Every structure is written in structure tokens, then in C-alpha cells.
């Protein structure tokens, strides 16, 4: 692996195919046509070689936690990308592998006629293994490009301990990256380019999803819809109608007072740069801007730093020494309640606030960030051991949440176990890990209204 520049790494040592017909960009995570460093690098490579650019996006049936909700959200953004890429002179291919009988090795077959491959650098879930595998298999160079956040992940040399250690570094570097690079334009338009590969037009999403060999018990969200156009509408609605009071409403779960942009960031329908630009131009109190940018930049980039540098990001092995010690000390503490996975999954506990949070997650694909912390803490209190609690939280989050399978997800879950936090007063089960209760937390927002909303799910005005 060779670092080409701050955002680009060469993953193998293969020579470029000088007889290639195009440059291939394998779009895995940054599913957008603007503010995309991967796309810009691919266009630049194509322009240098005076060949067209082909963008390939695939969706398999066997990725972990594959279900109707995730599939639908991804598919809802396909056709708008096809139109946008056509206008840019770029050939876009989307292929849905429905089951075991579908053609395989599509990306490798397309690459046979390519000069080189560009793909997305994402520090967790299945993407690192995808990139490692294609780099080994391909006979041409494979580059991965970091378009995750404001500051390239390569600017950090190690895992940061907590927000207070990464914050000053981010503030020092941020002026260098405050503006996104200008979008590149292709020189050679991809016209009359014929590729021997399967391809799908997305015309009937429910029917397509129904015929995929995936988990059909997790239904598509009725509240969150995929695609960049939807993401931008939500961003505009947030800036105009919610952001002015954000410092006051962000922890009020009973109203539409948060951005709800995390699913769009996770799937790359929206760039962090687009959000920062909208925030910067908004006529709102500085307090709201500072609160939001702390979450969007400092906390988010801390999570990406964590998953980049800690190979144990998806287990309790990543926890700091003080947490490991307190977990060992309190491993055999008695739990006041013990719930089965089935009872937890189906929001059948004594705690109505927790039930409401789980109900929101299961039925909509989202969960308010404030109750998400309480949600995780209570699972620790109600399961037999810490390992079981983590496994349940990871499964529920990655199965149901549209912003799951993300660095923020893992950092958020593990924060409940003490990651990126400090020791507190010692108590049973939690030891010196920060403790939260529904009794105290529920007094900080209109919990009764929130509970009632989750029983009806009258769709909020997202746009």
C-alpha cells in the first residue's frame, strides 16, 4: 500500500493497462456525482489518458444484515445518478445481484478492459476487505480514495483517545480543508461505449427487492427515502426550519429538532462539505452552529479515526484499560432485569422510554441520538454480560438503522461501554462506566409525547 497523496492510496503494484478503453470507478460508499474526491480522482486519471470514465455500482444479496430496508434505500438513489452521470458524459452501470444464480465477478470482468481501478476508502464494515480482495485479484492498479470527511484520515498518525485529544488537532488543520476541491469534468465523453456486463434499470423497487434473497422481515422505511435529491431537500428543510433553534431542540426527542442527515451521510448521498457550506451560510445563532459542527466534524471524525486505526473497532477489545478493568471487576454483578433477545427486539420491557426508542428504530430505520445513548446503556443493564449486550446492540443497530454499519455507529455503541469517555462514580454492573437512567433522562425532554409518537408514527415533515 502506497500513499499517493493525503486522500489517495495505491493498493497494489500492478502496471496500468495502456491499451485500456476506460478508467473504472467502483462506487461503493460515496454514492454522489459532486463533492466526491474518489470521482474527481477517477476523472483526472481518465483525462490524463484521454479515455472515458465508467462508474460501476453493485448491490449484492449476501452482505451482512442485507434486508429490504437497506436495499430499498440504496435503490432509491440509482436512477437519479444514472441521469446525472449521463449529463456529465460518464457511463454509469448499476447491477443488482439477486441470488446465487446471478452472474458473479462483475467488477473483475469489467476491469479486464480498464486502464486502472479507483474505489472508495471507507474504514469499516465490508469495504476494507472488498478493496483488499480486488487489489489482489486485479491485473491493473487499484487506488482507494478517502472522501469521508473534511480532514483526510491520513493526517492522523494514530488512534485518538477521545474528543478532547482530537479536537485541537482538527481545529488546527481545518482551515486547510474548509472548502472542497472543485469538481472535475471529463474530457472524453463516454458515448457509444459497449460493455459486456449485466445491468439493471430500477423501475419497480418493491418488486426488485421482493425477488432478492435477503431478509424480508425488515421492511423499507416509510419516513426515510434514499437519494441525493431527497438528502438535499432534507438539508434545506433542516437549515430553514430547525437549525435556528437547534441548540435548544437537538436533545428534544418529541419534536423534529435534529438534522436526520446521518443515513444520507452514511450512504454517501450527501457530502459533509455540502452540509458545512449550508451551515456556514445559515443566518442562525452561533450557538447552534457550534453545537452542530462539533457533532458533524469533531465527533464524526473521531469515529472515523477510531475505526481506521483500531482493528478491534467491532468488539469490546477496543475499550481502554480502565474500562476493561471495571468490566472484569463487575462481571458477576446481579442484574435487576434480564430480557431475552426476542423481548428486546420487540420492545417488550418494563421501560416505556426504552421501548419507544427501540420501536422507532425497528419501524422507521432511525433513532434520536439522545435516546440512542440511553438505549445502549439499558441493554448493558438488562443482559447477562457485556459481550452479549454488545452483540445485541450491534445486531439491532446494523439490521434496523439506516445509518448503521458506520464508524459513528460503532463509536456510539462503544461509548455506552466507556469508549471515548472517562471514569465516573462506581456502581453495580456499570462499575465506573457512565450510568444513565430513563427516570433522569426522561425528565430532560417530553418523554410522554415521544412515546406516543412512536406508537403512531405520524410522518414528520422531513422536507
Compute the CA torsion angle 99, 103, 104, 108 (nearest 10 deg). Answer: -150
Q: What is the pLDDT of residues 99-127, one digit of tens each?
A: 999 988 899 999 999 999 999 999 999 99
User: Of 147, 163, 191, which residue is a domain's last?
Assistant: 147
Check which CATH number belongs to the domain holding 39 and give it: 3.40.50.620
Instruction: Report, as an integer, the average pLDDT of 383-402.
Output: 98
In this structure, are residues 248 and 392 in contact, taking their beta carbons and an 8 Å threshold?
no
pLDDT higher than 80, residue 439: yes
Residues 347 and 255 in one domain: no
Question: Per the domain annotation, does 363 fall within a domain?
Answer: yes
Q: How far is CA 125 from CA 58, 151, 162, in A?
A: 16, 21, 22
Q: How many domains does the chain have?
A: 3
Q: What is the pLDDT of residues 354-388, one digit of tens each?
A: 999 999 999 999 999 899 999 999 999 999 999 99
Angle at 288 between CA 282 and CA 293, to 5 degrees: 85
Residue 315 confidence class, pLDDT cut points 50, 70, 90:
very high
Q: For 71-136, give the secondary structure using H, E and C.
A: HHHHHCCHHHHHHHHHHHCCEEEEEECCCCCCCCCHHHHHHCCEEEEEEECCCCCCHHHHHHHHHH
Which structural domain range is residue 24 located in?
1-147
Residues 247 and 177 in one domain: yes
Residues 347 and 401 in one domain: yes
Question: Per the domain annotation, does 218 fall within a domain?
Answer: no
State the maximum Cα–Cα separation within the chain, in Å, rounded to a whole number: 69
Check which CATH number belongs to the domain holding 231 and give it: 1.25.40.80
Residue 257 confidence class, pLDDT cut points 50, 70, 90:
confident
Instruction: Report, as an integer, the average pLDDT of 284-297.
Output: 94
Residues 285 and 239 in one domain: yes
In this structure, are residues 53 and 186 in contact, taking their beta carbons and an 8 Å threshold?
yes
Residues 251 and 395 in one domain: no
What pLDDT was estimated at residue 458? 59
Residues 266 and 342 in one domain: no
Q: What percent of the chain has pLDDT over 90?
A: 90
Question: Per the domain annotation, does 392 fall within a domain?
Answer: yes
Q: Exposed/middle/buried for 128, CB within 10 Å: 0-12, 13-18, 19+?
A: middle
User: Of 103, 126, 147, which residue is a domain's last?
Assistant: 147
Residues 31 and 62 in one domain: yes
- CA 265/CA 243 separation, integer angstroms: 18
pLDDT higher than 80, residue 462: no
Question: Per the domain annotation, does 221 fall within a domain?
Answer: no
Determine which helix (DSSP H) or strand (DSSP E) holds 233, and give its type and residue range: helix 228-237
Q: What is the pLDDT of residues 54-82, one digit of tens each?
A: 999 999 999 999 999 999 999 999 999 99
What pLDDT was estimated at residue 120? 98
Instruction: Report, as an integer, the average pLDDT of 205-210.
Output: 97
What pLDDT was estimated at residue 378? 97
Q: Which residue is listed with cell 457550534?
A: 290
Q: What is the pLDDT of residues 7-42, one digit of tens each?
A: 999 999 999 999 999 999 999 999 999 999 999 999
Angle at 404 between CA 403 and CA 406, to 5 degrees: 90
User: Of 309, 340, 365, which residue is a domain's last?
Assistant: 309
Determine which helix (DSSP H) or strand (DSSP E) holds 22, and give its type and residue range: strand 22-26
pLDDT higher than 60, residue 216: yes
Amino acid at each position: 500500500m502506497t500513499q499517493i497523496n493525503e486522500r489517495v492510496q495505491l493498493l497494489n503494484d500492478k502496471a496500468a493497462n495502456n491499451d485500456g478503453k476506460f478508467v473504472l470507478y467502483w462506487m461503493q460508499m460515496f454514492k454522489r456525482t459532486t463533492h466526491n474526491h474518489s470521482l474527481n480522482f477517477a476523472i483526472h486519471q481518465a483525462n490524463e489518458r484521454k479515455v472515458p470514465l465508467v462508474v460501476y455500482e453493485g448491490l449484492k444479496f449476501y452482505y451482512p444484515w442485507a434486508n429490504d430496508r437497506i436495499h430499498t434505500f440504496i435503490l432509491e438513489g440509482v436512477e437519479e445518478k444514472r441521469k446525472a452521470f449521463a449529463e456529465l458524459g460518464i457511463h454509469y452501470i448499476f447491477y443488482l445481484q439477486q441470488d446465487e444464480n446471478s452472474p458473479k465477478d462483475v467488477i473483475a470482468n469489467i476491469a479486464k478492459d480498464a486502464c486502472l481501478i479507483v474505489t472508495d476508502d471507507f474504514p469499516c464494515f465490508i469495504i476494507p476487505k472488498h478493496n483488499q480482495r480486488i487489489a489482489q485479484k486485479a491485473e491493473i492498479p487499484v487506488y482507494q480514495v478517502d472522501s469521508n470527511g473534511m480532514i483526510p484520515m491520513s493526517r492522523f498518525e494514530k488512534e485518538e483517545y477521545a474528543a478532547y485529544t482530537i479536537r485541537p488537532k482538527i481545529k488546527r488543520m481545518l482551515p486547510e480543508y474548509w472548502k472542497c476541491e472543485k469538481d472535475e469534468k471529463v474530457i472524453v465523453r463516454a458515448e457509444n461505449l459497449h460493455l459486456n456486463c449485466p445491468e439493471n434499470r430500477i423501475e419497480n423497487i418493491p418488486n426488485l427487492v421482493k425477488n432478492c434473497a435477503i431478509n424480508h422481515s425488515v421492511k423499507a422505511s416509510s419516513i426515510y427515502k434514499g437519494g441525493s435529491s431527497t438528502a438535499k431537500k432534507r438539508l434545506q428543510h433542516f437549515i430553514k426550519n430547525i437549525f435556528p433553534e437547534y441548540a435548544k431542540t437537538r436533545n428534544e426527542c418529541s419534536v423534529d429538532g435534529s438534522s436526520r442527515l446521518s443515513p444520507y451521510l452514511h450512504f454517501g448521498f450527501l457530502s459533509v462539505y455540502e452540509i458545512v457550506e449550508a451551515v456556514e451560510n445559515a443566518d442562525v445563532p452561533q450557538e447552534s452552529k457550534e453545537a452542530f459542527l462539533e457533532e458533524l466534524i469533531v465527533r464524526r471524525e473521531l469515529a472515523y479515526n477510531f475505526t481506521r486505526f483500531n482493528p478491534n473497532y467491532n468488539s469490546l477489545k477496543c475499550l481502554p484499560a480502565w474500562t476493561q478493568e471495571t468490566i472484569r471487576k463487575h462481571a458477576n454483578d446481579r442484574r435487576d432485569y434480564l430480557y431475552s433477545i426476542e423481548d428486546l427486539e420487540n420492545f417488550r420491557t418494563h421501560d416505556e422510554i426504552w421501548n419507544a426508542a427501540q420501536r422507532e428504530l425497528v419501524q422507521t430505520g432511525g433513532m434520536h441520538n439522545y435516546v440512542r445513548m440511553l438505549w445502549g446503556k439499558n441493554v448493558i443493564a438488562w443482559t447477562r454480560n457485556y459481550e452479549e449486550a454488545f452483540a445485541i446492540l450491534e445486531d439491532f443497530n446494523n439490521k434496523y438503522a439506516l445509518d448503521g454499519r458506520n464508524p459513528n455507529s460503532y463509536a456510539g455503541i462503544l461509548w455506552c461501554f466507556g469508549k471515548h469517555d472517562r471514569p465516573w462514580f462506581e456502581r453495580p454492573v456499570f462499575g465506573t462506566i457512565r450510568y444513565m437512567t430513563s427516570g433522569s433522562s426522561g425528565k430532560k425532554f417530553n418523554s410522554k409525547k415521544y412515546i406516543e409518537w412512536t406508537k403512531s408514527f405520524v410522518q414528520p415533515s422531513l422536507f
